[in-house]
Amino acid sequence: MKKLFTLLLFLSICIHTLLGGNSKKEKFGKIPLELLTMTVYEKDSNAHAVVIFEIAEYKVKYTENKGLICHIQQHLRIKILDKEGLGYGSFEIPAGKKDKLFGIKGITANYNPITKSVQNIPYDTKTLIIDHVNDYFDVYKIAFPQVKSESVLDLLFEQEIDNINYLPTWHFQHKIPAIISEITLKKPENIKYTLHVGGLLTILEEQGPSTYERVWMGNGNNATYKQDEYKYLIKDIRAFKTEPFIGCETDNMSLLDFERVNVHLPSTGEQFKELTWPLVSKLLMESEHFGDQMKFFRFVKSELELLKPKFKDSIQFANLILAHVKDKVKWNEKFRMLTTKDLDEVYEEGIGNSAEMNLLLYSFLKTADYPVYPFLLSTSDHGRIKSFSPTLDKFNHVIVLWMNKDGMKMMDATSKNAPVGILPRYDRNYLGLVVGDNMGMLLEPAQLNNRKTTVYNFTLTPEGKITGTITHLYDEERALYKRDELSDSMELEMKRKIRNRFEEAEIKNYTVSNLKEINEKLIEKIEISIPDVMEKSGSGYLFQPVLFNPLKENPLEENTRNYPIQFPIIHHDQMIITITLPINIVLLKAPENKYFYTEDKGMEYKYLFSESENILQFQIDQKFNKTFFDPSEYKALQLMFDKIVEMDNQYLIFSFKK
């Protein structure tokens, strides 16, 4: 039943002429009869409800008492289409603690079959629930009255926001389809916003007529200022439906963010500045929660001396510093791009957010004369940074970039198991920003090979039993991920996985090498014997060489794809299988070698087989050479996975020599 319509962005209102000036103003509570009798939304017959329109106005204005505020009005109309859609009869509207939400009006319109007319039931504001969720925001909960499976709901509300620097995000797209979604921004001409566009749908944009507004300044004075107007509209918006390998959902949902750039204040003479990446860097360098924390700290110098640098400017010493910072300060699991405390305090308390930990790491490295810079990121679940859309608001994390003669290396003190040059998965999100004096450039952290090699070395007995070893070698970020996964119960876990596949498997020995040596490859070795791996069938015996984790199903099974396909990292899975056969067994038919790839070799798959006397050898390579595939490449990828399913699940057939 948790299908409430959460207005993650809230907005506005009274209806204006739509683009081109040919659409009509919708009156609150005036519901056309044909909307009530509609039972299916033709453009999406699976929809349980549809947004008829969602129209908002953000008006940033000067006020006598509060200075600049944003007044928001929003009008939303939803049609319920069946009983599954009844959950859309309740709304949850978040609002900042300092923001006011008022003027709530609601109507449930139902069809009266006796009079064949519309019956409007007003929302009773006495039933409004305000949930004080935490110190930062409340949620206004609105349950519409008498909602039925054919109802139409009309909701109107206003909001006043103090902080005009970041206006609420406008989501054009929801889990249900929408016919019209429109946002109008009105603002004094000297206040500029950068627009961040999300999703793939085309937003129609139009500049409206400017007007002049008057504001009382006190003492009988008033001032006039010019108000600009912009409209943004999408029609016929499909319901947002997630897809496999979609990355961060908010990167794909159509939305609009407004980030204030700066203000031209005639009184101070400050000039408007376009938000650029160098400006973002400059603003951070001037911040007491960022740049001011990059200063020299006496305690850092004395602690460094204790570390007794033997390999100055070396990767070994950088690793030593990184380990020292991780040892001294625990991450509080919060991603932040700004500090909340001075770094000496953080060091003393031994706990800090991601900015505090990594700016501390920066200070240590800088004091040790490493050419390092803070590197600003948006984590992988937080949406991507777009090069064409400079922002300060969209970052949530900072790590450290070391530029040396051999190139660049990144490091992140929040990851327990990541050495210098290796990044945890949450740091992999395309672009980040190098911050520093005269900096402000975007970079994508270099991708590594990230190889996982699995070596099966098996001997097959005449009784159909396999004995031998399985060795997994994890390199670079694959090693980090695996180390993060491993726990005290890793042996039990591994045994459970193997026994899920082969119940009778006997695991004789299990070792993990280099678990703590985070700069080294992680090696997992299993000595195993499995009885009855061959199935008697017809005239021969069947054996599946990809014994463990064959890809059973194509993960891309849908016929169509709306959004790009994204993988977190470039990676290479290699499997080398060696099987020594008993002398009385012969392979009836050798499998064919195969090599498949997508047009640009973004993905490759190679299957090589060789046979020498009684030894069979397979080498299977699966490579993802890029992380981002356009929807137009979907079919090719789908085909690749189809072939992998086929190859992974193929059997060899043996017969016994007589």
Which residue ranges make up the site for another protein (CB under 8 A)?
1-2, 4, 45-46, 48, 83-84, 86, 89-90, 92, 124, 127, 129, 131-135, 139, 141, 143, 145-149, 330, 332, 351, 416, 487-489, 499-500, 503, 535, 537-540, 542, 552-554, 557, 588-589, 642, 645-646, 649, 651, 653
Query: Considering the complex, what minimum distance in angstroms separates the CB of residue 218 from another protein?
Result: 39
Query: Considering the complex, what minimum distance in angstroms separates the CB of residue 461 from another protein?
Result: 19
- Between CA 63 and CA 214 the distance in angstroms is 9
Q: Which is nearer to another protein, 139 or 608 (CB)?
A: 139
CB 216 within 8 A of CB 64: yes
Q: Which is nearer to another protein, 1 or 583 (CB)?
A: 1
Output the furthest CA–CA distance in the chain (Å, rounded): 112
Query: Considering the complex, what minimum distance in angstroms separates the CB of residue 131 from another protein?
Result: 5
> H helices then E strands: how many in the chain?
10, 37
Query: Considering the complex, what minimum distance in angstroms separates the CB of residue 133 from another protein?
Result: 5
- Between CA 475 and CA 481 the distance in angstroms is 10
Q: Which is nearer to another protein, 106 or 568 (CB)?
A: 106
Query: Considering the complex, what minimum distance in angstroms separates the CB of residue 148 from another protein?
Result: 6
Name the DSSP class of 232. E
Enclosing H/E stretch for 361: helix 354-367
Name the DSSP class of 126. G
Bridge pairing between strands 330-331 and 351-352: parallel
Query: Considering the complex, what minimum distance in angstroms separates the CB of residue 143 from another protein?
Result: 6
- Between CA 287 and CA 295 the distance in angstroms is 12
Query: Considering the complex, what minimum distance in angstroms separates the CB of residue 416 from another protein?
Result: 8
| C-alpha radius of gyration, the chain, whole number | 31
Q: Which is nearer to another protein, 225 or 548 (CB)?
A: 548
Q: Which is nearer to another protein, 349 or 437 (CB)?
A: 349
- Between CA 201 and CA 183 the distance in angstroms is 15
Q: Which is nearer to another protein, 497 or 601 (CB)?
A: 497
Query: Considering the complex, what minimum distance in angstroms separates the CB of residue 15 from another protein?
Result: 28
| CA-CA-CA-CA torsion sign (482, 487, 491, 497) | negative
Q: Which is nearer to another protein, 19 or 104 (CB)?
A: 104
Phi-psi group of 361: left, alpha or beta (phi > 0 → left; psi -120 to 50 → alpha; rest → beta): alpha
Q: In angstroms, what CA-CA distances link 540 with 459, 466, 493, 534, 652?
A: 19, 17, 35, 10, 10
Q: Which is nearer to another protein, 87 or 631 (CB)?
A: 87
User: Angle 548-549-553 (CA atoms, 0-180°, nearest 5)?
Assistant: 140
Q: Which is nearer to another protein, 143 or 261 (CB)?
A: 143
Q: In angstroms, what CA-CA distances link 554 with 548, 597, 637?
A: 17, 16, 10
Pair of tokens at residue 207 = 């500049």
The alpha helices in 240-290, defined as continuous H runs, are 249-252, 277-285
- Between CA 336 and CA 487 the distance in angstroms is 27
Q: Which is nearer to another protein, 139 or 408 (CB)?
A: 139
In one letter, which amino acid is 109? A
Query: Considering the complex, what minimum distance in angstroms separates the CB of residue 333 from another protein?
Result: 8
Query: Considering the complex, what minimum distance in angstroms separates the CB of residue 203 from another protein?
Result: 27
- Between CA 415 and CA 426 the distance in angstroms is 10
